[in-house]
Amino acid sequence: MSDPSSLSAAHPPEQGVLRRLVAKPEFGPLVLLVAMILVFTVINPTFLSLNNIGNALTFTVELGLIALAMTLLMTAGEFDLSVGSVFGFAPVVMWAFFNAGLMPLPAAFVVAMLIALAIGLFSGLFVTRLGIPSFLVTLGMLLVVRGTALWLTSGFPQRTWDAGEQWLAELLVGDFYVGGLRVYMSLIWFVILAVIFHQFLTRTRFGNWIQATGGNPGAARNRGVPIQRVKVILFMLSAAMAALAGIISSIRVSAANPNSGTGYELEVIAMVVIGGTVLTGGRGTIIGTVIGVLILRLMRNGIVLIGVPGLAYNIFIGAIILGMMALHAALERRHNAGT
Amino acid sequence: MSDHSPVETLVEMRHIEKSYGRVHALRDVNLTIRKGEIVGLLGDNGAGKSTLIKVLSGAVPYSSGEIRIKGRPVAMTSTNDAIAAGIETIYQDSALVPQLSIARNLFLGRELTTGRLGRLDLDRMNEVAAELLKRVGISKNIPPTTPIGSLSGGERQAVAIARAMYFDSDLIILDEPTNNLGVAETQGVLRFVREARDTGHSCIFIAHNIHHVFQVVDRMVVMRRGTVVADDLSPKTSSIQDVEDVITGDHIHV
Ligand SMILES: Nc1ncnc2c1ncn2[C@@H]1O[C@H](COP(=O)(O)OP(=O)(O)O)[C@@H](O)[C@H]1O
Ligand SMILES: [Mg+2]
């Protein structure tokens, strides 16, 4: 240590562009995505048609919005199992208020979002103040929220067909054509939010705190980082994005079903981890999550096009998760061995 | 102790008590740290060293007592109180975030930003970090964007100490900084500690290895079962054997 040059021996100046690219957590998922597109297109060329891509992208965004927020939450070392139930609950609240004539649609939207934020706040406080693992807290929250949605509606979907003339509905799920490609507003929202979330995580002070909170909470706390506040804010963000996604979905399919979103929490977490974000916190990537979202979406779409029964979808997703985890573990080991 | 004027006295802890449930970890502890001195804090496992410095750095609440920094009472209810009072604590395993870069670790909690949205000024952070790495002698070929996780233990300690020096903390506390380090790396850490003192910082140095402590400190404080049993041992006038006897309590029976 007294000889500076001896310290540097382990650190060659340039690792080489290729090696650095391979070391990135997004590399594996990106290769898989490209390979998938190639295989599907070779087997069935309609896979790459504008129509099919447009369709696939439309349905992408609703889960994708939740995945963006989940990426930040998981980077901070927590996760949220209640997003699927909030996805179902928020639109039920919004349409119930609107249909009862209590308030105009934008006001009902704001109320639904505020309730979602309150749900996130509650989960966050439970996890941080009582020190209960987020798995248990958000599992409880999942049941409470889903149960409330079912109880309030007696299990019946809420009417949403007055949505057509609403500017809010236009803004959230309206569509337009770019050349031959039909683009939905929700896709635009997803792209804008993905860019913002990426910048937020990698380029801001709060993003630095998110990574530190998940990476080494003790060190973050010792540096004066408010790790509890960081987590609470991210739980609120996650619930808000789940609510927004649920509302967009309810307008698109013209139904607010208290049961919708069931099981989405696992699919969202799958998207995030396939993209390279670590379940235990500290390392997260929005770019990876966007790739993960596309992988799951195109897989669902592609296996049907190439004639594999849709019911087999979960087999592929499960295999991808296992394969990706093995790959990340192998890269991690090699990385550690190299230092 | 009391004949030192408050100008020379940096830290004064008076009658500090701390219990973890039934465990009485600190009993009526008094500790004074003067400006520009390196104090070795010694004691057997469980003597209360870590607890004492956690109290001093706002990481755990104390039951009663008083803490003064430069003569002013400080509540020390959070780590932010300690940071504001110029106290920087380097814990062995929770000093740095392995996934973050050297530069991001150096500025964690005190990030340099541009504009109002909390946008990081990464260019300037990396620039300053590179400068700092050069100053502590680990600059060569280690870019400031390197994740901490790929540094050696000694390099990590160097980064943590460099951070404390950069932010000009009055007091740098090191809890077992030489554990798990090789001989050369240990020498490096000891060199940083001396450098920190030479540039006017005070240090509290906790280490298991008495030889390390003897090499670097001006004064030694010994704790046993939650109390301070000696606070003015000097490596110049005491032998290692003397100090070991105080640590174990053997000197009482001699
Ligand atoms: N978080 C804690 N909860 C309960 N007891 C603790 C805790 N931390 C330390 N102690 C107890 O306090 C005493 C002092 O511990 P510590 O300050 O870590 O000693 P040292 O650092 O000198 O080895 C020990 O008896 C230890 O078991
Ligand atoms: Mg200790």
CB B109 within 8 A of CB A223: yes
ipTM score of the complex?
0.84
Longest dimension (CA), chain B: 67
CA B23–ligand 2 middle distance (angstroms): 15
- The CB-side HSE value for B110 (13 A sphere, CA atoms) comes to 12
Q: Rounded to whole angstroms, what are the CA distances from A282 to A148, A208, B18?
A: 34, 10, 33
CA B69–ligand 1 middle distance (angstroms): 25
CB A125 within 8 A of CB A228: no
With the C-alpha atoms ordered A279, A281, A283, A289, is the resulting torsion angle positive or negative?
A: positive
Instruction: Choose the residue to mutate in B16, B19, B20, B29 for probing ligand 1, maximizing ligand atoms within 8 Å of C-beta.
Output: B20
Task: Map residue B91 onto helix, strand or coil.
Answer: coil
Place of tokens 């087997």: A43
Q: Compute the nearest-CA separation of B66 from chain A (Å).
A: 21
Instruction: Choose the residue to mutate in B50, B91, B176 for probing ligand 1, maximizing ligand atoms within 8 Å of C-beta.
Output: B50
Domain contains B136: no
- State whether the beta carbon of B156 lies less than 6 angstroms from ligand 1: no
* CATH architecture of the domain with range A47-327: Orthogonal Bundle (1.10)
Residue closest via CA to ligand 1's atom 7 equals B20
Q: What is the 3-state secondary structure (H, E, C) of B29-41?
A: EEEEEECCCEEEE
Q: Rounded to whole angstroms, what are the CA distances from A65 to A120, A194, A301, A310, B160?
A: 16, 8, 19, 24, 38
What lies within 8 Å, CB to CB, of B76 at 6+ separation is B55, B56, B57, B58, B62, B67, B82, B85
CA B63–ligand 2 middle distance (angstroms): 19
Rounded CA separation A230/A83 (Å)? 18
pLDDT for B29 equals 96
Rounded CA separation B70/B33 (Å)? 10
Listed by start position, the domains of chain A span 47-327
Element (H, E) at B213: helix B210-216
Rounded CA separation B41/B11 (Å)? 14
Distance of alpha carbon A24 from the chain centroid: 20
pLDDT for A74 equals 97
Q: Compute the nearest-CA separation of B80 from chain A (Å).
A: 5
Rounded CA separation B161/A151 (Å)? 58
Q: Does A280 touch chain B (CB under 8 A)?
A: no
Rounded CA separation A298/A318 (Å)? 15
Domain contains B129: no
What lies within 8 Å, CB to CB, of A36 at 6+ separation is A295, A298, A299, A302
Q: What is the DSSP letter of A159?
A: P
Structural domains counted in chain B: 1
CA A156–ligand 1 middle distance (angstroms): 57
Instruction: Give the CA-trace dihedral at B152, B154, B155, B156, to 10 degrees.
Output: 90
Task: Map residue B133 onto helix, strand or coil.
Answer: helix
Q: Does the beta-carbon distance from A218 to B93 stay under 8 Å?
A: yes
- pLDDT tens-place string over residues A251-262: 888 889 999 999
What are the average pLDDT values for consecutive 10-residue runs of chain B, which has 254 residues? 60 96 94 94 93 94 95 92 91 84 94 90 94 74 89 85 85 88 83 86 90 92 94 90 88 58
Q: What are the residue ranges in chain A where pLDDT is below 50?
A: 1-13, 338-339
Q: What is the DSSP letter of A262?
A: T
Cα Rg for chain A, rounded, in angstroms? 21
pLDDT for A279 equals 87
CB-based burial of residue A283 (10 Å sphere; 0-12 exposed, 13-18 middle, 19+ buried)?
buried
How many residues appear in chain A?
339
Instruction: Indicate which CATH number applies to the domain containing B178.
Output: 3.40.50.300
Domain contains B26: yes
- pLDDT tens-place string over residues B121-158: 999 999 999 988 887 766 567 899 999 998 888 888 88
Nearest 5°: CA angle at A290, between A285 and A296? 120
End-to-end CA distance of chain A: 16
pLDDT for A4 equals 38
pLDDT for B181 equals 81
Out of A205, A224, A335, name the one closest to residue B118 (CB).
A205
Could you tell me which of A292, A288, A325 has the C-alpha nearest to residue A25?
A288
pLDDT for B103 equals 96
CB A77 within 8 A of CB A210: no
Which chain A residues contact residue B98 at CB under 8 A?
A: 215-216, 282
pLDDT for B189 equals 84
Q: Does A15 touch chain B (CB under 8 A)?
A: no
Domain contains B156: no
Q: Which amino acid is at B3?
A: D
Tokens read off for B88: 């920087």
pLDDT for A47 equals 85
Range of the domain at B21: 9-96+170-252
Domain contains B147: no
